[in-house]
Amino acid sequence: MEIIIQPDGDAAALMVARVIAREIRRKPDLVLGLATGRTMESVYGHLVRMHQEKALSFASCRTFNLDEYIGIPANHPGSYRHYMNLHLFSKIDINLKNTYLPNGMAPDLAAECHHYEEAIKERGGIDLQLLGIGHDGHIGFNEPLSSLRSRTREKALTLSTLQANSAMFDNNIEKVPRRAITMGVGSILDSKRAIMLVTGASKASILAKATEGPITSMVTGSALQLHPRCTVITDEAAAINLEGIEYYRWIFANEPEWQTF
Ligand code: GLP
Number of domains present in the structure of the chain:
1
User: Per residue in 16-67, pLDDT tens?
Assistant: 999 999 999 999 999 999 999 999 999 999 999 999 999 999 999 999 999 9
Q: Which residues contact 230 (CB under 8 A, 6 or more apart)?
A: 1, 2, 193, 194, 195, 196, 224
Catalytic residue among 51, 138, 190, 227: 138
Range of the domain at 72: 2-126+136-194+211-234
User: Max CA-CA distance within the chain?
Assistant: 52
In the predicted model, is pLDDT for residue 261 greater than 90? no
Distance of alpha carbon 236 from alpha carbon 218, whole angstroms: 25
| 206 in any annotated domain | no
Alpha helices in the chain, H assignment, sequence order: 9-26, 38-54, 80-87, 109-122, 159-164, 185-189, 204-212, 236-239, 245-253, 256-259
d(CA 254, ligand 1 centre) in Å: 31
| 156 in any annotated domain | yes
| 148 in any annotated domain | yes
Exposure string for 92-127, b = 16+ CB within 10 A, e = fewer: bebeeebbbbbbbbbeebeebbebbbeebeeeeebb
| 240 in any annotated domain | no
Residue 133 is predicted with a pLDDT of 98
Ligand 1 site, residue 234, Cβ cutoff 6 A: no
| 247 in any annotated domain | no
**Nearest atom in ligand 1 to 66's CA:** 9
| 200 in any annotated domain | no
CATH number for 16: 3.40.50.1360
| 58 in any annotated domain | yes
Residue 212 is predicted with a pLDDT of 98
Measured between alpha carbons, how far is residue 240 from residues 35, 106, 135, 200 in Å? Answer: 24, 43, 16, 10
Distance of alpha carbon 32 from alpha carbon 27, whole angstroms: 11
Name the CA dihedral angle for 102, 196, 13, 165, rounded to a multiple of 10 degrees. Answer: 50
257 is catalytic: no
Ligand 1 site, residue 161, Cβ cutoff 6 A: yes
User: Per residue in 136-170, pLDDT tens?
Assistant: 999 999 999 999 999 999 999 999 999 999 999 99
d(CA 148, ligand 1 centre) in Å: 18
235 is catalytic: no
Query: Could you tell me which residues are beta bridge partners of residue 230?
Result: 194
d(CA 250, ligand 1 centre) in Å: 29
138 is catalytic: yes
Ligand 1 site, residue 177, Cβ cutoff 6 A: no
Question: 89: pLDDT confidence band, cut at 50, 70 and 90?
Answer: very high
| 201 in any annotated domain | no
Query: Residue with the nearest Cα to atom 3 of ligand 1?
Result: 140
User: Per residue in 205-223, pLDDT tens?
Assistant: 999 999 999 999 999 999 9
Ligand 1 site, residue 78, Cβ cutoff 6 A: no
Ligand 1 site, residue 67, Cβ cutoff 6 A: yes
Phi, psi of 100, deg, nearest 5:
-115, 135
CB 131 within 8 A of CB 196: yes
How many Cβ atoms sit within 10 Å of the Cβ of residue 131?
Answer: 25
**Nearest atom in ligand 1 to 132's CA:** 10
Ligand 1 site, residue 143, Cβ cutoff 6 A: no
Ligand 1 site, residue 140, Cβ cutoff 6 A: yes
127 is catalytic: no
Strand bridging mode 99-100 / 193-198: unpaired
- Give the residue-averaged pLDDT of 123-148: 98
Computed over every residue of the chain, the mean pLDDT equals 97
Percent of the chain with pLDDT strictly greater than 90: 98
Question: 9: pLDDT confidence band, cut at 50, 70 and 90?
Answer: very high
Residue 259 is predicted with a pLDDT of 86
